[in-house]
Copies of this chain bind each other. A is one copy, B any other.
Amino acid sequence: MTSTAVESKVLRTAYQKSVAAYWNNNQQDPVNLRLGEIDGLYHHHYGIGEYDASVLEGPEETRDARIIQEMHRLETAQADVLLDYLGDVQPTDQLLDAGSGRGGTSIMANHRFRCRVDGVTISEYQVGFANEQAVQWGCSDDVQFHFRNMLDTGFDTGSKRGIWTNETTMYVDLFDLYAEFSRLLEYGGRYVCITGCYNDVTGGRSKAVSKIDEHYTCNIHPRSHYFKALTANNLVPINVVDLTAQTIPYWELRAQSSVATGIEEAFLNAYREGSFHYLLIAADRI
């Protein structure tokens, strides 16, 4: 296929094209780049855990570097928690990173489980960047990134032992997504999701949540949709953890950093008013 043909297959709607364009165009976004430069694990997600308040003190000239390093520690900690819930993964198993960004979590997974990991993303820029990282880390035989839509990955039915989405489900319809994951996972395979979702209990999307949607051109789902879509697709939860309290420190620290983008307040408001959760779900394919 020509590259245009590939592109029109991967990017099916105007919405998907605008999401892809957003991520293709923020190549210099310091909030991802500067943190990744620390140790070569480039993430596209947020962090969890208390931050070390001492980074805010000390010499002004290195203050921002200390903050960046601490933020990176928290986002890597988040990825570690996600991988903890993948269960028992063998070197002969295959994993899928759905919405793989710059590839950090995939490389960590390969390092931990010594197994094949494929990542897919609709940003061609991210595919290139992440594959280059795999080369740098010497794992490019086992870890590969593809310019594919996670709703239609092209991988074989039942080929995956585990799949994760790390803050990427807000770009897609959950029923479509979990139909594809249900197809990809072997019987008994595990899916792990970390996501921001809005709280049905406080009602519709709050102003703060819509602000986040607008900022990232994303479509944050209510908590209830996750369970409806999992249940409809033979994915049955075994763990659900509310990480909200654990992610607030990350945002408080980020608000004080040089890489703040202005969206920090919306996140902090949304989490604190209870209209938004930071949720981890682990579910089994039955």
Q: Which of A205-259 contact B (CB under 8 A)?
A: 205-207, 210-211, 213-214, 217-219, 223-224, 227-228, 230-231, 234, 236-242
Complex alpha-carbon distance, A228 and B214, angstroms: 26
**Distance between A94 CB and nearest chain B CB, rounded to angstroms:** 16
- Residue numbers in B under 8 Å from A239 (CB-CB): 240-242
Which residues of A does B touch, CB under 8 Å?
Answer: 12-16, 18, 171-173, 187-188, 200-207, 210-211, 213-214, 217-219, 223-224, 227-228, 230-231, 234, 236-242, 273-275, 277, 284, 286
Name A's interface SS: mixed
Q: A15-B204, A172-B204, A201-B284 are in contact. List 11 more A-B contacts (CB 8 A).
A: A13-B188, A201-B286, A204-B217, A205-B219, A210-B210, A213-B214, A227-B227, A227-B231, A238-B242, A238-B277, A239-B242
**Distance between A285 CB and nearest chain B CB, rounded to angstroms:** 8
Contact B213 A201 (CB under 8 A): no
Contact status of A187 and B13, CB under 8 A, knowing A240-B238, A284-B200, A284-B201 = yes
Partner among B16, B210, B238, B277 whose Cβ is within 8 Å of the Cβ of A223: B238
Contact A18 B206 (CB under 8 A): yes
